[in-house]
């Protein structure tokens, strides 16, 4: 191994640099100090330390050790030695060809009929889908009545459920003034209506529209919103400004749009995103009405 020379402020620093170049540990290297730093004034040193190093050479193993190891490997009796693998006789080309023909005959022929997994997406898309049978309205009405009766009892109230016979809509009315089932601004009632619809779809799926009311709340709410819409329309017409109403549910917004559309001199539009979407009452001048 060739020697490398390094310098440093101290001998230890020069040795560390040499070890970095050699890439070995200090115990595996051999050093020679070529120059030591000289002592100066006030304990300072002058000059640099210079050393050379190399990987410590390892002498060859003594011949006796090699002979002993070789003797131990040959002391085993012949019976214990592993027999050499016998080479298999080479098969001629005719035998190989015959074997290939037999293998091809034994392989099953590929079926031309496509399985479900082999069908292309276009073929699966073109296949007609199985349509679910729509449950009769009488079955849906019975399920809605049973569900709402149990839900009312779960709230701790006593009250029946009335559902008039209609052909295309189920208007279920829970008897009694149960404010807990209505909630602030009818939010609990809207949640009950959605739960009833989901439960009916799972048990008796159909396209029938389901509405739920408690103690006639929705009619009372409709009348209150109609009066509120009239006041907003009057303010927009008199002051000729847009009146921005508070955020409401989609059902309440529809009630406001329907009420305001019957009032002359104003128009409506909606703005914002759910659940902060609201109705805006816009004044309409006579010039604008004539232009339209």
pLDDT in tens, 191-242: 999 999 999 999 889 889 999 999 999 999 999 999 999 999 999 999 999 9
The answer for residues whose C-beta is within 8 angstroms of residue 168's C-beta and 6 or more apart is 137, 208, 209
**pLDDT computed for residue 251 by the predictor:** 85
φ and ψ at residue 38, rounded to 5 degrees: -95, 150
- Residue 182 pLDDT exceeds 80: yes
Q: Report the alpha-carbon distance of residue 279 to residue 281 in Å, rounded.
A: 7
User: Do residues 226 and 259 lie in contact, with contact meaning Cβ atoms separated by under 8 Å?
Assistant: yes
User: Do residues 161 and 172 lie in contact, with contact meaning Cβ atoms separated by under 8 Å?
Assistant: yes
**pLDDT computed for residue 116 by the predictor:** 42
Taking alpha carbons only, the member of 265, 209, 257 closest to residue 235 is: 265
CA 203 → CA 66, 133, 161, distances in Å?
A: 88, 12, 19
pLDDT in tens, 97-143: 444 444 444 444 444 444 444 444 444 444 444 345 788 889 999 99
H-state helical runs in the chain? 11-22, 63-74, 93-106, 121-126, 137-154, 179-182, 187-203, 217-239, 250-261, 286-291
pTM across the whole model: 0.48
């Amino acid at each position: 191994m060739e020697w490398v020379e390094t310098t440093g402020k101290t001998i230890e620093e020069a040795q560390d640099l040499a070890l970095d170049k050699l890439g070995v540990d200090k115990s595996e290297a051999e050093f020679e100090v070529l120059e030591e730093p000289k002592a100066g004034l006030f304990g300072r040193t002058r000059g640099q330390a210079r050393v050379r190093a190399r990987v410590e050479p390892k002498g060859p193993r003594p011949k006796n050790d090699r002979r002993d190891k070789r003797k131990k490997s040959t002391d085993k009796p012949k019976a214990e030695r592993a027999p050499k693998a016998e080479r298999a006789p080479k098969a001629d080309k005719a035998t190989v060809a015959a074997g290939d023909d037999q293998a091809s005959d034994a392989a099953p022929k590929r079926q031309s009929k496509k399985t479900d997994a082999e069908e292309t997406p276009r073929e699966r898309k073109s296949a007609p889908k199985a349509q679910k049978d729509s449950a009769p309205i009488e079955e849906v009405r019975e399920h809605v009545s049973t569900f709402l009766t149990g839900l009312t009892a779960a709230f701790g109230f006593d009250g029946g459920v009335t559902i008039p016979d209609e052909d295309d809509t189920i208007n279920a009315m829970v008897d009694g003034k149960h404010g807990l089932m209505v909630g602030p601004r009818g939010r609990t009632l809207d949640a009950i209506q959605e739960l009833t619809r989901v439960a009916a779809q799972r048990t008796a799926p159909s396209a029938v529209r389901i509405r739920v009311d408690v103690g006639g709340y929705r009619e009372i709410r409709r009348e209150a919103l109609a009066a509120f819409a009239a006041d907003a329309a009057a303010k927009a017409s008199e002051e000729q400004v847009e009146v921005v109403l508070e955020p409401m549910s989609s059902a309440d917004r529809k009630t406001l749009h329907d009420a305001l559309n019957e009032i002359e001199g104003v128009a409506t539009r909606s703005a914002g995103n759910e659940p902060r979407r609201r109705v805006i009452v816009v004044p309409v001048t006579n010039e604008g009405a004539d232009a339209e």
